[in-house]
Amino acid sequence: MIGLLEALEASGPAQFLRTSFVAYPVVNAGHILAIGALVTSAVLMDLRVLGAWRSIPMQTVVGYLRPVAVVALVVAVITGMLLFSVRPLEYLDNPAFRVKLVLLAIAVANAVGFTLLQKALDLRSMPLRVLAGISLLAWPAALLAGRFIGFVE
Amino acid sequence: MQVSKVMLAGLVLSAGLVVPALAHHGWSWTDSGFFQIEGVISDIYIGNPHATLDVDVEGTIWRVELAPPGPTTEAGFVEGVAAVGDEVVAIGNRSQDHNEARMKAVRIIIGDDTYDVYPDRAKAI
Protein backbone atom coordinates (compact mmCIF):
# COMPACT_ATOMS: atom_id res chain seq x y z
CA MET A 1 0.00 0.00 0.00
CA ILE A 2 2.71 2.48 1.05
CA GLY A 3 4.84 1.42 -1.92
CA LEU A 4 1.89 1.99 -4.24
CA LEU A 5 1.36 5.47 -2.84
CA GLU A 6 5.06 6.28 -3.17
CA ALA A 7 4.89 5.17 -6.80
CA LEU A 8 1.86 7.44 -7.28
CA GLU A 9 3.74 10.33 -5.69
CA ALA A 10 6.70 9.78 -8.03
CA SER A 11 4.53 9.50 -11.15
CA GLY A 12 4.76 12.05 -13.97
CA PRO A 13 1.34 13.69 -13.51
CA ALA A 14 1.92 14.04 -9.74
CA GLN A 15 5.31 15.69 -10.25
CA PHE A 16 3.85 18.00 -12.89
CA LEU A 17 0.91 19.03 -10.68
CA ARG A 18 3.16 19.57 -7.67
CA THR A 19 5.14 22.31 -9.38
CA SER A 20 2.75 23.70 -12.00
CA PHE A 21 1.51 27.23 -11.42
CA VAL A 22 -1.54 26.77 -13.69
CA ALA A 23 -2.44 23.07 -13.73
CA TYR A 24 -2.98 22.61 -9.99
CA PRO A 25 -5.53 25.44 -9.58
CA VAL A 26 -7.25 24.30 -12.79
CA VAL A 27 -7.61 20.71 -11.51
CA ASN A 28 -8.66 22.13 -8.13
CA ALA A 29 -11.33 24.26 -9.82
CA GLY A 30 -12.55 21.19 -11.75
CA HIS A 31 -12.84 19.31 -8.46
CA ILE A 32 -14.91 22.11 -6.89
CA LEU A 33 -17.11 22.42 -9.99
CA ALA A 34 -17.79 18.67 -10.05
CA ILE A 35 -18.58 18.57 -6.32
CA GLY A 36 -20.92 21.53 -6.74
CA ALA A 37 -22.81 19.79 -9.55
CA LEU A 38 -22.84 16.47 -7.68
CA VAL A 39 -24.07 17.77 -4.33
CA THR A 40 -26.62 20.09 -5.94
CA SER A 41 -28.11 17.37 -8.16
CA ALA A 42 -28.15 14.84 -5.30
CA VAL A 43 -29.80 17.29 -2.89
CA LEU A 44 -32.42 18.30 -5.48
CA MET A 45 -33.30 14.62 -6.12
CA ASP A 46 -33.44 13.91 -2.38
CA LEU A 47 -35.71 16.88 -1.69
CA ARG A 48 -38.02 15.84 -4.53
CA VAL A 49 -38.28 12.28 -3.18
CA LEU A 50 -38.95 13.74 0.29
CA GLY A 51 -41.82 15.84 -1.04
CA ALA A 52 -40.55 19.17 -2.42
CA TRP A 53 -41.68 20.52 -5.83
CA ARG A 54 -44.67 18.19 -6.11
CA SER A 55 -45.70 19.78 -9.43
CA ILE A 56 -42.70 18.18 -11.17
CA PRO A 57 -42.99 14.39 -11.61
CA MET A 58 -40.46 12.48 -9.51
CA GLN A 59 -39.34 10.38 -12.47
CA THR A 60 -38.62 13.53 -14.47
CA VAL A 61 -36.45 15.02 -11.71
CA VAL A 62 -34.50 11.79 -11.16
CA GLY A 63 -34.28 11.12 -14.91
CA TYR A 64 -32.70 14.52 -15.57
CA LEU A 65 -30.46 14.83 -12.52
CA ARG A 66 -29.09 11.31 -12.00
CA PRO A 67 -26.90 11.38 -15.16
CA VAL A 68 -25.61 14.80 -14.06
CA ALA A 69 -24.74 13.38 -10.64
CA VAL A 70 -22.99 10.31 -12.12
CA VAL A 71 -20.85 12.35 -14.55
CA ALA A 72 -20.05 14.86 -11.78
CA LEU A 73 -19.02 12.02 -9.45
CA VAL A 74 -16.67 10.57 -12.09
CA VAL A 75 -15.07 13.99 -12.68
CA ALA A 76 -14.81 14.62 -8.92
CA VAL A 77 -13.10 11.25 -8.37
CA ILE A 78 -10.62 11.74 -11.24
CA THR A 79 -9.69 15.32 -10.23
CA GLY A 80 -9.64 14.24 -6.58
CA MET A 81 -7.16 11.44 -7.30
CA LEU A 82 -4.96 13.92 -9.18
CA LEU A 83 -4.98 16.33 -6.22
CA PHE A 84 -4.35 13.39 -3.85
CA SER A 85 -1.35 12.23 -5.93
CA VAL A 86 0.60 15.39 -5.04
CA ARG A 87 0.98 14.35 -1.37
CA PRO A 88 -0.68 10.91 -0.93
CA LEU A 89 0.91 9.93 2.39
CA GLU A 90 0.17 13.33 3.93
CA TYR A 91 -3.49 13.17 2.89
CA LEU A 92 -3.94 9.57 4.01
CA ASP A 93 -2.72 10.66 7.47
CA ASN A 94 -5.20 13.53 7.57
CA PRO A 95 -8.22 12.80 9.83
CA ALA A 96 -10.54 15.06 7.79
CA PHE A 97 -9.54 13.19 4.61
CA ARG A 98 -10.29 9.85 6.27
CA VAL A 99 -13.68 11.04 7.51
CA LYS A 100 -14.40 12.35 4.00
CA LEU A 101 -13.59 8.95 2.43
CA VAL A 102 -15.89 7.15 4.88
CA LEU A 103 -18.74 9.63 4.24
CA LEU A 104 -18.13 9.34 0.50
CA ALA A 105 -18.32 5.53 0.71
CA ILE A 106 -21.59 5.80 2.66
CA ALA A 107 -23.04 8.29 0.16
CA VAL A 108 -22.06 6.20 -2.89
CA ALA A 109 -23.28 2.91 -1.35
CA ASN A 110 -26.52 4.67 -0.40
CA ALA A 111 -26.97 5.98 -3.95
CA VAL A 112 -26.31 2.52 -5.43
CA GLY A 113 -28.77 1.01 -2.92
CA PHE A 114 -31.39 3.60 -3.88
CA THR A 115 -30.94 2.87 -7.60
CA LEU A 116 -31.31 -0.90 -7.03
CA LEU A 117 -34.28 -0.62 -4.65
CA GLN A 118 -36.00 1.81 -6.98
CA LYS A 119 -36.55 -1.05 -9.45
CA ALA A 120 -38.62 -2.96 -6.90
CA LEU A 121 -40.23 -0.16 -4.88
CA ASP A 122 -42.29 2.92 -5.56
CA LEU A 123 -40.31 6.19 -5.35
CA ARG A 124 -42.77 7.39 -2.70
CA SER A 125 -42.21 4.33 -0.47
CA MET A 126 -40.77 4.76 3.02
CA PRO A 127 -37.49 2.81 2.47
CA LEU A 128 -36.57 5.07 -0.47
CA ARG A 129 -37.50 8.18 1.51
CA VAL A 130 -35.17 7.03 4.29
CA LEU A 131 -32.33 6.54 1.77
CA ALA A 132 -33.05 10.00 0.32
CA GLY A 133 -32.77 11.39 3.85
CA ILE A 134 -29.41 9.65 4.35
CA SER A 135 -28.25 11.01 0.98
CA LEU A 136 -29.36 14.52 1.95
CA LEU A 137 -27.02 14.35 4.96
CA ALA A 138 -24.15 12.26 3.56
CA TRP A 139 -23.20 14.31 0.46
CA PRO A 140 -23.02 17.71 2.18
CA ALA A 141 -21.25 16.06 5.14
CA ALA A 142 -18.61 14.62 2.76
CA LEU A 143 -18.20 18.09 1.22
CA LEU A 144 -17.78 19.65 4.67
CA ALA A 145 -15.21 17.03 5.75
CA GLY A 146 -13.32 17.63 2.51
CA ARG A 147 -13.19 21.35 3.14
CA PHE A 148 -11.55 20.70 6.52
CA ILE A 149 -8.62 18.76 5.00
CA GLY A 150 -6.59 21.97 4.74
CA PHE A 151 -7.19 22.94 8.34
CA VAL A 152 -6.37 19.85 10.38
CA GLU A 153 -3.39 17.52 10.42
CA MET B 1 -41.13 21.90 1.95
CA GLN B 2 -40.88 25.52 0.90
CA VAL B 3 -38.07 26.49 -1.43
CA SER B 4 -37.28 29.59 0.65
CA LYS B 5 -36.50 27.39 3.65
CA VAL B 6 -34.15 25.30 1.53
CA MET B 7 -32.36 28.43 0.36
CA LEU B 8 -32.10 29.72 3.93
CA ALA B 9 -30.55 26.41 5.01
CA GLY B 10 -28.06 26.69 2.13
CA LEU B 11 -27.08 30.22 3.15
CA VAL B 12 -26.55 29.18 6.77
CA LEU B 13 -24.42 26.22 5.64
CA SER B 14 -22.25 28.37 3.36
CA ALA B 15 -21.78 31.01 6.07
CA GLY B 16 -20.48 28.25 8.34
CA LEU B 17 -17.96 27.20 5.70
CA VAL B 18 -16.37 30.65 5.44
CA VAL B 19 -15.19 30.79 9.05
CA PRO B 20 -12.63 27.93 9.01
CA ALA B 21 -11.29 29.21 5.67
CA LEU B 22 -10.06 32.32 7.47
CA ALA B 23 -8.04 30.21 9.86
CA HIS B 24 -5.56 28.87 7.33
CA HIS B 25 -4.91 31.37 4.55
CA GLY B 26 -3.41 34.77 5.20
CA TRP B 27 -2.14 35.78 8.60
CA SER B 28 -5.32 36.16 10.66
CA TRP B 29 -4.57 32.90 12.48
CA THR B 30 -1.10 33.95 13.62
CA ASP B 31 0.31 36.14 16.38
CA SER B 32 1.36 39.57 15.14
CA GLY B 33 4.92 39.61 16.57
CA PHE B 34 7.78 37.66 15.01
CA PHE B 35 8.62 34.25 16.36
CA GLN B 36 11.68 32.09 15.76
CA ILE B 37 12.49 28.40 16.00
CA GLU B 38 15.74 26.52 15.47
CA GLY B 39 15.81 22.84 14.80
CA VAL B 40 16.47 20.02 12.38
CA ILE B 41 14.44 19.47 9.22
CA SER B 42 12.47 16.23 9.52
CA ASP B 43 10.39 16.64 6.37
CA ILE B 44 10.38 19.02 3.46
CA TYR B 45 7.76 19.66 0.80
CA ILE B 46 7.97 22.22 -1.97
CA GLY B 47 4.87 22.17 -4.13
CA ASN B 48 1.13 22.71 -4.40
CA PRO B 49 -0.99 23.58 -2.54
CA HIS B 50 1.44 24.85 0.16
CA ALA B 51 5.15 24.39 0.70
CA THR B 52 5.86 23.13 4.22
CA LEU B 53 8.78 22.24 6.46
CA ASP B 54 8.59 19.93 9.44
CA VAL B 55 11.21 20.97 11.98
CA ASP B 56 12.28 18.91 15.00
CA VAL B 57 12.85 21.32 17.90
CA GLU B 58 14.09 19.28 20.86
CA GLY B 59 11.67 16.46 20.12
CA THR B 60 8.65 18.56 19.13
CA ILE B 61 7.86 18.53 15.43
CA TRP B 62 6.88 22.00 14.27
CA ARG B 63 4.89 22.46 11.08
CA VAL B 64 6.34 25.50 9.31
CA GLU B 65 4.12 26.77 6.50
CA LEU B 66 5.94 28.59 3.72
CA ALA B 67 4.52 30.71 0.91
CA PRO B 68 2.69 29.08 -2.01
CA PRO B 69 5.14 27.23 -4.29
CA GLY B 70 5.51 30.15 -6.74
CA PRO B 71 6.81 32.77 -4.26
CA THR B 72 8.68 30.09 -2.28
CA THR B 73 10.74 28.97 -5.29
CA GLU B 74 11.12 32.61 -6.40
CA ALA B 75 12.81 33.26 -3.04
CA GLY B 76 15.38 30.64 -4.03
CA PHE B 77 13.97 27.93 -1.78
CA VAL B 78 13.83 25.13 -4.36
CA GLU B 79 14.32 21.34 -4.36
CA GLY B 80 17.85 20.55 -3.29
CA VAL B 81 18.76 23.66 -1.23
CA ALA B 82 17.71 21.90 1.96
CA ALA B 83 17.53 18.28 3.01
CA VAL B 84 16.15 16.23 5.89
CA GLY B 85 18.69 16.47 8.71
CA ASP B 86 19.80 20.04 7.94
CA GLU B 87 19.73 22.59 10.73
CA VAL B 88 17.28 25.38 10.05
CA VAL B 89 16.16 28.66 11.56
CA ALA B 90 12.60 29.73 10.75
CA ILE B 91 11.43 33.26 11.51
CA GLY B 92 7.81 34.22 11.07
CA ASN B 93 4.54 34.25 12.96
CA ARG B 94 3.31 31.65 15.37
CA SER B 95 -0.22 30.28 15.46
CA GLN B 96 -2.41 32.11 17.96
CA ASP B 97 -3.28 28.68 19.31
CA HIS B 98 -0.15 28.00 21.35
CA ASN B 99 -1.22 24.40 21.88
CA GLU B 100 -0.29 23.65 18.28
CA ALA B 101 3.32 23.63 17.07
CA ARG B 102 2.60 25.58 13.90
CA MET B 103 3.95 28.76 12.39
CA LYS B 104 3.98 30.59 9.09
CA ALA B 105 7.51 31.44 7.99
CA VAL B 106 8.64 34.74 6.56
CA ARG B 107 12.36 33.90 6.47
CA ILE B 108 14.17 30.55 6.38
CA ILE B 109 17.89 30.33 7.18
CA ILE B 110 19.85 27.19 6.30
CA GLY B 111 23.57 27.47 7.05
CA ASP B 112 24.71 30.77 5.53
CA ASP B 113 21.78 31.00 3.13
CA THR B 114 18.74 33.15 3.80
CA TYR B 115 15.45 32.69 1.95
CA ASP B 116 12.80 35.38 2.36
CA VAL B 117 9.63 33.62 1.23
CA TYR B 118 7.60 36.75 2.11
CA PRO B 119 10.11 39.49 1.12
CA ASP B 120 7.83 42.42 2.02
CA ARG B 121 7.24 41.08 5.51
CA ALA B 122 10.90 40.09 5.93
CA LYS B 123 11.90 43.77 5.74
CA ALA B 124 10.36 44.23 9.20
CA ILE B 125 12.49 41.51 10.81
Among chain B residues, the shortest Cα distance to A19 is held by B47
pLDDT greater than 90 at residue B11: no
Which of B5, B48, B53, B95 is the mutation pick for testing A, counting most A CBs within 10 A?
B48
Instruction: Note the pLDDT tens digit of each residue in A24-79.
Output: 999 999 999 999 999 999 999 999 999 999 999 999 999 999 999 999 999 999 99
Looking at beta carbons, which residues of chain A come within 8 Å of B15?
none
- State the Cα–Cα distance between residues A100 and B104, nearest whole angstrom: 26
> Which of B29, B30, B31, B62 shows the shortest CA–CA distance to B44?
B62
* Cross-strand bridge partners of residue B38: B89
- State the Cα–Cα distance between residues B115 and B109, nearest whole angstrom: 6
A36 in Cβ contact with B13 (< 8 Å): no
CB contact under 8 A, A19 and B47: yes
Of A51, A52, A148, the CB nearest to B20: A148
Among chain A residues, the shortest Cα distance to B48 is held by A18
- State the Cα–Cα distance between residues A26 and B95, nearest whole angstrom: 30
The DSSP secondary-structure symbol of B68 reads -
- Which burial class, exposed, middle or buried, applies to A19 when counting CB atoms under 10 A from its CB (0-12, 13-18, 19+)? middle
> Which of B52, B29, B27, B54 shows the shortest CA–CA distance to B43?
B54
Complete domains list, chain B, with CATH: 1-29 (no CATH), 31-122 (2.40.50.140)
Q: Is the dihedral of CA A31, B47, B20, A109 positive or negative?
A: positive
**Residue B5 confidence (pLDDT):** 62
Instruction: Note the pLDDT tens digit of each residue in A123-133.
Output: 889 999 999 99
Residue A11's H or E segment, with its range, is none
Which of A19, A24, A53 is the mutation pick for testing B, counting most B CBs within 10 A?
A19
- State the Cα–Cα distance between residues B90 and B53, nearest whole angstrom: 9
CB contact under 8 A, B48 and A24: yes
Q: Name the minimum distance, in Å, from the CA of B113 to any CA of chain A.
A: 23
- State the Cα–Cα distance between residues A72 and B4, nearest whole angstrom: 26
Helix (H, G, I), strand (E, B) or coil at B55: strand
Of A17, A28, A151, the CB nearest to B24: A151
Tell me, what's the ipTM? 0.72
B30 in Cβ contact with B106 (< 8 Å): no
Instruction: Note the pLDDT tens digit of each residue in B59-83.
Output: 999 999 998 888 898 999 998 899 9
B45 in Cβ contact with B51 (< 8 Å): yes
Please count the CA atoms within 13 angstroms of the CA of B7 that sit on its side-chain side: 3
